[in-house]
Structure 1
Amino acid sequence: MADDLPPLWFPPMSSDDSSDSSILFFQNLIEEAELQDTGTSNRRRYIERQREEGHETLMADYFVEDPKYNEDIFRHMFRMSKRLFLQIVSDVEENDPWFVEAPDARGRKGFTPLQKVTSAIKQLATGNTPDENDEYLHMAERTSRECLEYFCDTVCKIYGPEFLRRPTNHRYPTIMLEAVASQDLWFWHAFAGPPGSQNDINVLQQSPLFLTERNGTAPKCPFYVNNHLYKRGYLLVDGIYPSWSVFVKSIPYPHEVNEKKFKRQHEAARKDVERAFGVLKGKWGVLSRPMRARSVKKIRNVVYTCIILHNMILKDDGKAIAPVHIRDPPVEPALDDTVLGELLNEDTHWRLKHDLIDHLASQDLPHLLADSDED
Structure 2
Amino acid sequence: MGDRRRRSMAMQMAQYQARMEIEDAELFNAEVELFNSFMQSEHNGESSHRGSVTGRSYVQRDREECHDRMMKDYFIERPRFHAHDFRRRFRMRRELFESILNAVVNHDQYFERRVDATGRQGLSPHQKLTSAFRMLANGCSADSTDEYCRLAESTAIENLKRFCKAIEGIYGATYLRNPNRADLKRLLRKAEKRGFPGMIGSLDCMHWEWKNCPTGWAGQFKGRHDKPTIVLEAVASYDTWIWHAFFGAPGSNNDINVLWSSPLFDNVVNGWAPEFRYKVNGNRYELGYYLTDGIYPSWSTFVKSFSHPDSAKKKLYSQRQESYRKDVERAFGILQARWAIVRGPARFWQSEDLHSIMMTCIILHNMIVEDEYIEIEEDSDEDVDDDQPTHARAIARDVEYLAPTTYETRQDRVTLSEYMRRLNRIQAPQCHDTLRKDLVEHVWRREDLFEQIHRF
For the superposition of Structure 1 and Structure 2, which TM-score range results when normalised by the shorter chain? 0.7 to 0.9
**TM-score where L is the length of structure 1:** 0.78
Helix, strand or coil at the partner of 1:195: strand
Shift of residue 213, structure 1, vs aligned partner: 1.4
Is the contact between residue 173 and residue 221 of structure 1 (CA under 8 Å) also seen in structure 2? no
1:73-105 superposed Cα distances (whole Å, 9 cap, x missing partner): 111111111111111111100111111112345
Helix, strand or coil at the partner of 1:289: coil
Is the contact between residue 237 and residue 328 of structure 2 (CA under 8 Å) also seen in structure 1? no
Measure the CA separation in 1 of the matches of 2:448 and 2:98.
45
Q: Structure 1: where are the runs of 5+ without partners? A: 1-37, 323-327, 370-375
Q: Is 1:187 matched with 2:199? A: no
Cα 1:220–1:295 change in 2 (3 A) is farther
Partner residue of 1:131?
Answer: 143
Partner residue of 1:285?
Answer: 340
Measure the CA separation in 1 of the matches of 2:434 and 2:279.
12
5 Å-filtered alignment, 1:239-254, equals 239-254=294-309
Shift of residue 206, structure 1, vs aligned partner: 5.2
**TM-score where L is the length of structure 2:** 0.65
Is the contact between residue 130 and residue 144 of structure 1 (CA under 8 Å) also seen in structure 2? yes
Partner residue of 1:331?
Answer: 411
Measure the CA separation in 2 of the matches of 1:349 and 1:108.
67
Partner residue of 2:24?
Answer: none
Q: Is 1:355 matched with 2:435? A: no
Measure the CA separation in 1 of the matches of 2:275 and 2:173.
20
Q: Is 1:62 matched with 2:62? A: no
Q: Is 1:173 matched with 2:193? A: no
Partner residue of 2:106?
Answer: 94
Measure the CA separation in 2 of the matches of 1:233 and 1:365.
25
Shift of residue 129, structure 1, vs aligned partner: 0.8
5 Å-filtered alignment, 1:97-112, equals 97-104=109-116, 106-112=118-124
Measure the CA separation in 2 of the matches of 1:164 and 1:85.
19
> Across the two proteins, how many residue pairs are aligned to each other?
326
Helix, strand or coil at the partner of 1:190: strand
Shift of residue 232, structure 1, vs aligned partner: 0.9
Is the contact between residue 115 and residue 121 of structure 2 (CA under 8 Å) also seen in structure 1? yes
Shift of residue 294, structure 1, vs aligned partner: 4.0
Cα 1:303–1:205 change in 2 (3 A) is closer
Partner residue of 2:85?
Answer: 73
1:125-157 superposed Cα distances (whole Å, 9 cap, x missing partner): 111111112111111111111221111111111
Measure the CA separation in 2 of the matches of 1:334 and 1:215.
6
Partner residue of 1:310?
Answer: 365
Q: Is 1:44 matched with 2:78? A: no
Helix, strand or coil at the partner of 2:275: coil
Measure the CA separation in 1 of the matches of 2:294 and 2:255.
14
Cα 1:158–1:365 change in 2 (3 A) is farther
202-211 or 175-184: bigger deviation: 175-184
Q: Is 1:201 matched with 2:201? A: no
- The residue type equivalent to 1:281 in the other structure is Q
Is the contact between residue 264 and residue 368 of structure 1 (CA under 8 Å) also seen in structure 2? no
Measure the CA separation in 2 of the matches of 1:251 and 1:184.
22
Helix, strand or coil at the partner of 1:224: strand
Is the contact between residue 245 and residue 348 of structure 1 (CA under 8 Å) also seen in structure 2? yes
Helix, strand or coil at the partner of 2:279: strand
Cα 1:368–1:248 change in 2 (3 A) is farther
Shift of residue 185, structure 1, vs aligned partner: 2.3
Measure the CA separation in 2 of the matches of 1:193 and 1:331.
27
- The residue type equivalent to 1:342 in the other structure is R
Is the contact between residue 258 and residue 357 of structure 1 (CA under 8 Å) also seen in structure 2? yes
Cα 1:267–1:137 change in 2 (3 A) is same
- For 1:154, which of 166, 182, 190 is the aligned residue? 166
Helix, strand or coil at the partner of 1:351: helix
Shift of residue 247, structure 1, vs aligned partner: 1.5
Partner residue of 1:229?
Answer: 284
Measure the CA separation in 2 of the matches of 1:367 and 1:298.
51
- The residue type equivalent to 1:331 in the other structure is Q
Cα 1:366–1:302 change in 2 (3 A) is farther
- The residue type equivalent to 2:441 in the other structure is D
Greater share of strand? 2
Measure the CA separation in 2 of the matches of 1:196 and 1:212.
24
Cα 1:169–1:321 change in 2 (3 A) is farther
Helix, strand or coil at the partner of 2:56: coil
Measure the CA separation in 1 of the matches of 2:238 and 2:86.
20
1:243-290 superposed Cα distances (whole Å, 9 cap, x missing partner): 211121211111100010111111111223201221221111112111
- The residue type equivalent to 2:275 in the other structure is K
1:25-73 superposed Cα distances (whole Å, 9 cap, x missing partner): xxxxxxxxxxxxx99x823222221211211110121122332112221
Tell which structure's C-alpha radius of gyration is larger.
Answer: 2
131-140 or 312-321: bigger deviation: 312-321
Measure the CA separation in 2 of the matches of 1:142 and 1:125.
19
158-167 or 332-341: bigger deviation: 332-341
Cα 1:112–1:203 change in 2 (3 A) is closer
Is the contact between residue 169 and residue 221 of structure 1 (CA under 8 Å) also seen in structure 2? no
Cα 1:79–1:367 change in 2 (3 A) is farther
Cα 1:320–1:85 change in 2 (3 A) is farther
Is the contact between residue 205 and residue 211 of structure 1 (CA under 8 Å) also seen in structure 2? no
Is the contact between residue 271 and residue 410 of structure 2 (CA under 8 Å) also seen in structure 1? no
Identity among equivalent positions (%) equals 37
- The residue type equivalent to 1:223 in the other structure is Y
